Amino acid sequence: MASTASVAPDPQVPPTTDPFDLPKDQLLPAYRWMVLSRAIDERCLALQRQGRIGFYAPLMGQEAAQVGCALAVRPDDWMFPAYRELAVALTRGASLTSVLDQLMGNSSDLTKGRQMPNHFAFADQHYVSASSPIGTQITQAVGAAMAAQRRKDPIVTVAFFGDGATSSNDFHAGMNFAGVFRTPTIFLCQNNQWAISLPRAKQTRSKTLAEKADAYGFPGVVVDGTDVRAVYRAVAEARQRAVRGDGPTMIEAQVYRLGPHSTSDDPKRYRSDEEVAHWKERDPLTRLRGELLAAGAVDAAGDQKIWEDARAQVAAAIAESERIAPMAPDSMFGDVFSVPTPQLEEEQRSFDASDRPHGGAP
């Protein structure tokens, strides 16, 4: 029988490094981003219940997929989110206060109170505003990628969507255009098993969602979305393929939405406690925490401090955003036309007059 003893590596041969592996020194930062995302997620659910924000769509359970992707792309790449990609925005550098300003719609909101909560937009982070209609970001990402192609700009665009969006018209249109024109696009489907209350099994007979890419002439891959390293690898490989001119890739990151679809949803009406408990055992934060503890990258006290620091950051950001005045009502007249029309000026004069107490003189 052959010996199974391990052989020490030759010290003269440098260890091989895989360019698609998440660097070990990035694992702890990745965990910090995931914890911060979970911390703000927990508080935002509570803020909505307390009436301090109007709406929120949580991402609990999808942190590894989002952080892994955000770390694998470049700052010049453009992100086209759905409405649950908060961890992507934070990892790319969006501040907690800018997120909370948008959720509260105060006068520091970068979208000036003109977007639904959770529809963040951060130009500096190349993070495009979300839209409520399902799937529209898919065709937008492909169009932006086609423009980059023509400019010979070596970037990629990433379209984020859920399993439900694969049933949308925009999914077909975007995937088909991307395949035909070989656009530098990464389609990242976070298959969280439920399109609000519709289970994945009632959406398609396809064995996987990723295999739908075959029909459009480019690869589709399935990864464990609770493993930050697996997502990082898949996105890094897809990005290299895209900038090399080999076209798009669809990645199906299999995750689970541990919380409600939004603060308007009650998931207990359509899924069992047993199902949720099963997936909680695969919580991406618990998984990465265990790996870091086992590797000695952090100890229990250090982990506790990471959580305490994250929650303190979130609390400070909430306090700061709540101190900021709301948007002025007459802000609705700004940015409508570069030169206000007579009709718009008349509407503003009427508004100013009606806004005065007791019908005071203009």
Residue pLDDT, tens place only, 99-150: 999 999 999 999 999 999 999 999 999 999 998 899 999 999 999 999 999 9
User: Tell me, what's the pLDDT at 181?
Assistant: 98
The pLDDT value given to residue 136: 96
Is 258:60 a contact under the CB 8 Å cutoff?
Answer: yes
pLDDT score at 132? 87
Single out the catalytic residue among 270, 278, 349, 356.
270
The catalytically annotated residue of 229, 233, 257, 282 is: 257
Q: Which residues are CB-neighbours of 280 under 8 A, at least 6 positions away?
A: 258
CB 50: neighbour CB atoms within 10 A? 8
| Pick from 213, 293, 267: nearest CA to 61 | 267
**pLDDT tens per residue across span 46-66:** 999 999 999 999 999 999 999
Mean pLDDT on 15-20: 68
Q: What's the rounded mean pLDDT across residues 307-334?
A: 96
Name residues whose C-beta falls within 8 Å of residue 344's C-beta, 6 or more positions apart in sequence: 333, 336, 337
Confirm whether 257 is a catalytic residue: yes
Task: Give pLDDT, residue 19.
Answer: 80
Cα–Cα distance between 84 and 325 in angstroms, integer?
26
- pLDDT band with cut points at 50, 70 and 90 for residue 192: very high
- Encode pLDDT of 196-237 as tens digits: 999 999 999 999 999 999 999 999 999 999 999 999 999 999
- Concerning whether 349 is annotated as a catalytic residue, the answer is no
Instruction: For residues 24-34, give the mean pLDDT.
Output: 97
Per-residue pLDDT, 354 = 85
Is residue 200 part of the annotated active site? The answer reads no
Lowest mean pLDDT among 16-20, 40-44, 229-233, 324-328: 16-20
Query: If pLDDT is split at 50, 70 and 90, which confidence band does 17 have?
Result: low
* pLDDT on residue 108: 96
User: What's the CA gap between 59 and 318, in Å, rounded?
Assistant: 19
Percent of the chain beyond pLDDT 70?
Answer: 93
Q: How many whole angstroms separate alpha carbon 3 and alpha carbon 137?
A: 56
Question: Does the structure show a pLDDT above 90 at 93?
Answer: yes
More confident residue, 4 or 356: 356
- Cβ neighbours of residue 102 closer than 8 Å, sequence gap 6 or more: 109, 110, 111, 115, 117, 119, 120
pLDDT value, residue 213? 98
Residue 42: pLDDT band (50, 70, 90) is very high
3-state SS of the chain? Answer: CCCCCCCCCCCCCCCCCCCCCCCHHHHHHHHHHHHHHHHHHHHHHHHHHCCCCCCCCCCCCCHHHHHHHHHHCCCCCEEECCCCCHHHHHHCCCCHHHHHHHHHCECCCCCCCCCCCCCCCEHHHCECCCCCCCCHHHHHHHHHHHHHHHHCCCCCEEEEEEHHHHHCHHHHHHHHHHHHHCCCEEEEEEECCEECCEEHHHCCCCCCCHHHHHHHCCCEEEEECCCHHHHHHHHHHHHHHHHCCCCCEEEEEECCCCCCCCCCCCHHHCCCHHHHHHHHCCCHHHHHHHHHHHHCCCCHHHHHHHHHHHHHHHHHHHHHHHCCCECCHHHHHCCCCCCCCHHHHHHHHHHHHHCCHHHCCC
Check whether 271 has a pLDDT greater than 50. Answer: yes
- Say which range, 130-144, 164-178, 257-271, 347-361, has the weakest mean pLDDT: 347-361
Q: Does domain 24-261+269-327 have CATH number 3.40.50.970?
A: yes
Q: How confident is the model at residue 13 (pLDDT cuts 50, 70, 90)?
A: very low
- Average of per-residue pLDDT values in the chain: 92
pLDDT over 90 (residue 244): yes
pLDDT at residue 359, rounded to an integer: 45
Q: Catalytic pick from 84, 229, 261, 282?
A: 261
The distance from CA 189 to its chain's CA centroid, rounded to whole angstroms, is: 11
Neighbours of 296 (CB within 10 A): 7
**96, amino acid identity:** L
